[in-house]
Amino acid sequence: MTIIELTTYALVSFIVVLWCYFKWKNRHFEKIASKLEGPPSYPIIGTGLESIGTHQQFSDNVIKLLSSYGGEPCKVWLGPYFGVGISKPEDLQIILNSSKALDKSKFYNFFKNAVGEGLFTAPVHKWRKHRRLIAPVFNANVLDQFFPVFNEKNRILIENLKKELGKTQPFDLLDYIMKTNLDIICQTAMGYNLDSQSNKVSEFSDALNKIMELDTLRVYKPWLYPDIIFSIYRRLMGLQNVYKKLHKLPNQVIREMKETYAQRKMENKNNAMDVNDEKPLKVFLDTLFDLNEAGENFSDEEIRDEVVTMMMTGSETSTITGCYCLLMLAIHPKIQDKVYDEIFEVLGDGDQTITIEDTTKLVYLEQCIRETLRLYPLVPVFLRQLQDDVKIFSDDLILPKGTICLISPLTTHHMPELYPNPWSYNPDNFDAENVNKRHKYSFIAFSGGPRGCIGSKYAMLSMKVLISTFLRNYSVHTDLKLSDIKLKLDLILRCSNGFPVTIRQRDRRPTYKKK
C-alpha cells in the first residue's frame, strides 16, 4: 500500500471509530431522540444547517423551527449536544423549579467573555451565593428609593424628544430610550451619574449590541464553538477589541465609585452622621462593597462581572421592551388612548412626579407591558442542563442527565390554546379573569423558578414610569403595521425594522372627553 492509501485508510478508520464512540456514549440520548420529532440533524454540526445564511434568514429559520411542533417536546441536536425543546406550561413548571435543572448549560460559557460569571452565567454554586447576597437590593420594600432617579432621567428624555416634534419623517425610539435606561441603571445600581442623554455617543451600548449578536450566533453555529476558531472569526470581523470596549465603562464606574465609597466611609467615621441627616441612596454597588468589608471577599473580577451583568440586563432589556410597547401603542391608537386615559385618571393634568403608589393604579398599562412581553419576549430561548434524570408531564417522558432543555418563551407565548390569535396585540390577555384561567407558567417572560429574573419588579416599575411619562407628554404614531415587523434573534429579541415613530404634543385632556 502507498503512503497516501495508508493515510486515507487510517483517517477513515479514525472517523469511523470516533463516530462509533460518539454513538455509544450518547446511546441514552439516542433512545429518547428516537421517540421525539425534530429537525434534521447531521454528524458533528447537528441542526447547524439551519444557521446558514444571513442573520435575518437564521432568525426566520429558528422562529419557524420553534413553532413547528405544536408545543410538544422536540429533539434538537446543538452540534454534538442533545437538547429537547420544552414549551408546555406543565413541563416548564417541572423544569424551571427542579433542583436538578439549575445549571444554565455549557453554552452560557460563550457569554463569559462579555459578562464573566455574573448571575446570568454563573455556575450553580456561585449563583447560589451571589443571589442570596444580592437579592435584598431588589426587595420590593426598597424600590421606591429609585423613583427620584426614574423621574429625573425621564424628564430629560421628554426634553430631548422636543426636537422631534412637528417632523413628518419618523425617528427611531431606540437611541433615546437606550440612553435614558443606561443613565437610570448606572444611577440606581451604581450611584454613578453617567449622563449619556447629553448627546454623548455610548461606546458601551454600541459594543453591547455587537457582542450580543456575535455571542448568540456562536451558540447556533457549531463551527464557532472552539475558542481558537472563534478568536480568528472575531479578527476577520474586526471585532477583536469589542470586549475591551464593553468593559471600559464598567471598569471606570467601579474605579470611581470605589474612591467615592472609601471617602464616604472616612467622612462617616470622622464625623458621626446627625440622626436628622438624609441618608444617601443605597445602591447595588455599595452593597457589594459592604459585603466585601464584612468578609465575603468578592474579587475585583467578580464585582466587575456583576456590574456588567447589571448594566447589560438593566439597560438593554428595559429599552427593548419599552420601545416595543410604545411601537405597539402607536400601531394601535385606540389602545393608546385607553392607556392615556388611565394615566390621566391617576396623575391628572399637572406635572407632579409619579410615585410607587401611582404605579399600582396603572393596571391597564401593566397589561400592555405584559402583552408586549408575551408577543415579543426579551429572551426568545434560554437553556437549562439537567444534572440528573427528570420526568416531565408530557407522555411521562424521562429526560436523562445531561439533556439540554431549550425553553422558548417565544413558542409558549404563541400557543393558540393559551392565547387566541397569538400574533395579535391584545392587552386583555392579561386582565385578571384571563390570567386566572391560564397556567402560571403560560407567561415566562422573566423565566421562572429559583433562577427567575431577580430584577423583574424593578424592570416593571421602571417601564411603567418611562411609558406613562412619555404618554403624558406625547402621543406616538407610526406607519408600520403589526405584519410589517421582522424579528431578529440575538440574546435579546430585536426588531429588524427598528422602532420608527413620530410624536405629537399632548393637550393634557382625557381622550374620552374629546369630541
Q: What residues are designated binding site for heme?
A: 453
> What is the rounded CA–CA span in Å between residue 35 and residue 348?
60
Q: Name the region of 79 (left: φ>0; alpha: ψ -120 to 50; beta: rest).
A: left
| Residues in Cβ contact with 60 at an 8 Å cutoff, skipping those fewer than 6 apart | none
**Is the four-CA dihedral 110, 113, 115, 117 of positive or negative sign?**
positive
Amino acid identity of residue 271, one-letter, is N
> What is the rounded CA–CA span in Å between residue 165 and residue 490?
32
The CA–CA distances, whole Å, from 463 to 32, 70, 194, 330, 386 equal 43, 32, 19, 16, 34
The CA–CA distances, whole Å, from 207 to 101, 118, 240, 448 equal 32, 18, 11, 29
CB contact at 8 A, 388 and 101: no
DSSP annotation of 273: P
Amino acid identity of residue 79, one-letter, is G
Tell me the binding residues. 453
> What is the rounded CA–CA span in Å between residue 283 and residue 83?
39
> What is the rounded CA–CA span in Å between residue 73 and residue 84?
6
To which residue does cell 493515510 refer? 7
**Is the four-CA dihedral 239, 240, 243, 245 of positive or negative sign?**
negative
